[in-house]
Chains A and B, each alone.
Chain A
Amino acid sequence: MKTKSFLQFVGPSVAMMLLLLAAPLLLTFYLSVRNCAMEMEMVKIEESTPFGKKETLTQRAKLDAAGKAIQSCSFVGLDYYRKVLGLDAEAAQPGGPPEAAGTIAKGDKADNEFLGALRFTMIYTFVTLPFVLGIGFLLALGVNGVSQNLKGAFISASLLPFIITPVVAALSIKWLFRDDGLVPYLLSQVGVQVFWMAQAWSARLLIILYGIWHVVPFAFIVLYAGLQSVPQDALEAATIDGASRWQKLRYVTLPHLMPLIVFITLIHLMDAYRVFEPVMVLTQGAFTTSVQYLTYHILLQESNPYKASAAAVLTLIGIVVLLIPLLVKTYREQKRGV
């Protein structure tokens, strides 16, 4: 194909991606080093409420001719990055308490939000991965040995956790594990009482369980397909050589499935890093948060697009670092294939 045709054909797609993905990303970088604040002035004003009138000394934003608050924007460099990472202990105002610096160093949540979010996101990603692969593989092996007519129904039913809308799935799990939900009741019958959404460890466990539940079907299907294409002659040769079931698995099947395992890992890493819905639904970021949720939270709750942009850039750096090894590997394979 000629390069000119190529460019014409990919044009629309590339244009969209540039316009709505690349450009906003650049804008995010720009926003992350700026801050706009309203100019506040002290005023004495009479406030009138249903409970009476009161002269109060308070602060009000300076307004322009159109009645809008005047924003003064400026370049702030890496300030927000430092804030989001909790690195600016020195920035405590003179009016603040002297022990402040020591307190932050002890790692209080409010400032180290990004690092806490990153830590949990990493835990989530790397704890779910082996379970997803393991359970998916077991399921694939299992279904492989099941009779033909059952397979179809089983596969359909198994797809459900993967197909279902994540926010709906997270809500369903929340409703199951609510204080007055089914699971706590069943657990209380055996004498266990856990308030799932009330403490960090149980909420995190729920999120991780959700993650495994949600991605297993994907691993299962991919590995199941892979099992269909295991070279039969290699298997037969192994059987003739007297290999046991386990040895056949280890030396013939698994190596064959390796590229698929890498594929699943790559996709899972990308998606797990972006975990959002379960964090939002199960905790609303209260004491455990993920990197993607943090950006969202700062943007919407604190209404601070500048700080949110700093968090967003840090998030992006995180995923790039995470994916570099796998991307390099994919690059090499594609280069060979193409």
Chain B
Amino acid sequence: MTVKFNFPRRSLLACAAVAALLPGLAAAKCADIPGKGEINIVGSSMPSVQHLAKEMESCSKGTLKVTIKITPEARVETERAFGSDGKSAFDAAVISGGVYSNLASRGQLQSLTDLVAKYKVKYKIEDNMLVKSGNDVLAIAYQQNAQNLYYRKDLFDKHGIKVPTTYAEMLQAAAVIKAKEPSIEFPIAQTFSKGFDISTEFVNIYVGLGGKLFKPGTAQPAFNDEIGVRTIELMKSMVPFMTPNYLASNSDDVMNQFMQGKAAMGVLWASRAARMDDPAASKIVGKMEFAAAPAAMVGGKSATHLWWDGVAMPKNLANDRDLVFQVLMDALDEETTKAGNDSTIWIRSIYKPTRFGTGVILSMKAGAPIWPTEPYVGLATGELGKLVPEAMGGTMTPKQALDAAAVAYTRAATEKGFIK
């Protein structure tokens, strides 16, 4: 009897010893998070989110189940869930700086300050990652992003083109490629699709031309001024070099155009860069290089904005906040960053910058500002996203479109209480 008892116990001890001496080896993620239930997270289809999703879902074991919903409509779904009167459908969301501003202004994000303090050491949460409003930590950022210039170095070298530093130079480069490179009919690919994409392009170039979206200190619109008209005209001058279907080009579509070798340059999110070298999907492995987004005018700042993406939890959370936080931090730990190093520009210090991140860093150096944080920016971009395409397509003049957007925005902002 005694022998029987000792044997299993000793082998158990042996197993434990082995397990303790082999850290990280097949240690299932979240090995030491005690918890049960379901955790639901939502995020966009960015490559880094897909990488995080794998990490988060590998936390599912036993009674704990983690699911992440990846959808291009993540923005809308997050705002809906976090803003609902009942409990949120999602326990956490991967959000961008813009969505953060909306949610924070409505008081819909919960403070994570105490949780950060509790788990700072365990998950090595760095100060850079904390997104604070006043003294409250409302989000933990993990990646920086910006739209920067993508260009086919091989083609540029072949035709003796210098890397453009202004949009004017980019148009010249496009003209050269269109004339001299038979394989490329539409050299520029950029996210001009109606809605968020084209409105972001507008804001990038508008601010790059020195414009101010709102009258200082108020939520009154100022984007329908003369600079706004020049912005649309600059955008229109790009159209001859883009696919006729440019009003449908979203990030996925632009990526396709690059990866299929159909376009030679454009301003696109840095977070999409790594896919250019994915042999399963790309025909142009190793040929794409990255630089700062061109300035909109000579001597201007790089016409792009800096974004961060991170995770946040809603006030109307229905779950165990400690558990959710741990799952999130586990997914954002150093191992994840290391494993997915090339998939985006991580904020963590252990990130090794790759050439995919060059564009963002160069844009930053060239003075790109951070995306405006006013909570009513989303309302303005919503209206711009609907009306700028009308100006692009010629059914309205730029001034008409901008004025209509200003009126519609004013109405929406008044409805929401930003304008009294």
Contacts and interface: CB of A to CB of B under 8 A. Distances in A.
| Chain A partners chain B | yes
Interface of A: 35, 37-40, 45-51, 56-61, 63, 67-69, 83, 91-93, 95-97, 99-100, 103-104, 106, 108-111, 179, 193, 195, 197-198, 286-287, 300-304, 307
A9 to B, nearest CB: 36
A334 to B, nearest CB: 43
A38 B105 CA distance: 10
Interface of B: 76, 79-80, 83, 97, 104-108, 110, 128-134, 141, 144, 194-195, 215, 217, 219-221, 224, 244-245, 247-248, 306, 308, 315, 347, 370, 373-376, 383, 386-387, 389-390, 396, 399-400, 403-408, 410-412, 414-419
Given A110-B386, A179-B245, A59 B375 contact: yes
Nearest to B364: A51
Given A35-B415, A110-B408, A50 B308 contact: yes
B107 A48 contact: no
6 contacts: A39-B417, A40-B418, A48-B130, A58-B375, A104-B407, A198-B244
B382 to A, nearest CB: 8
Given A69-B106, A110-B383, A195 B248 contact: yes
Nearest to B376: A59
A97 B400 CA distance: 10
Contacts of B104: 60
A87 to B, nearest CB: 13
Contacts of B132: 46-48
Contacts of B399: 99
A100 B79 contact: no
Given A50-B131, A59-B219, A103 B245 contact: no
A260 B308 CA distance: 61
Given A35-B415, A50-B128, A111-B408, A286 B194 contact: yes
Given A46-B134, A49-B131, A303-B79, A59 B374 contact: yes
A60 to B, nearest CB: 5
B70 to A, nearest CB: 18
Contact of A110 (B130, B134, B144, B387): B387
A304 B79 CA distance: 12
A335 to B, nearest CB: 46
A83 B411 contact: yes
A197 B195 CA distance: 15
Nearest to A41: B417
Contact of B406 (A39, A91, A96): A96
A59 B248 contact: no
A70 to B, nearest CB: 9
A100 B407 contact: yes
Contacts of A97: 224, 403, 406-407
A185 to B, nearest CB: 14
Contact of B107 (A47, A50, A68, A103): A68
Interface centre among B130, B220, B370, B407 (most CB of A within 10 A): B407
Nearest to A63: B107
A49 B141 contact: yes
B419 A93 contact: yes
A140 to B, nearest CB: 39
A294 to B, nearest CB: 13
A47 B374 CA distance: 11
B273 to A, nearest CB: 19
Contacts of A287: 194, 389
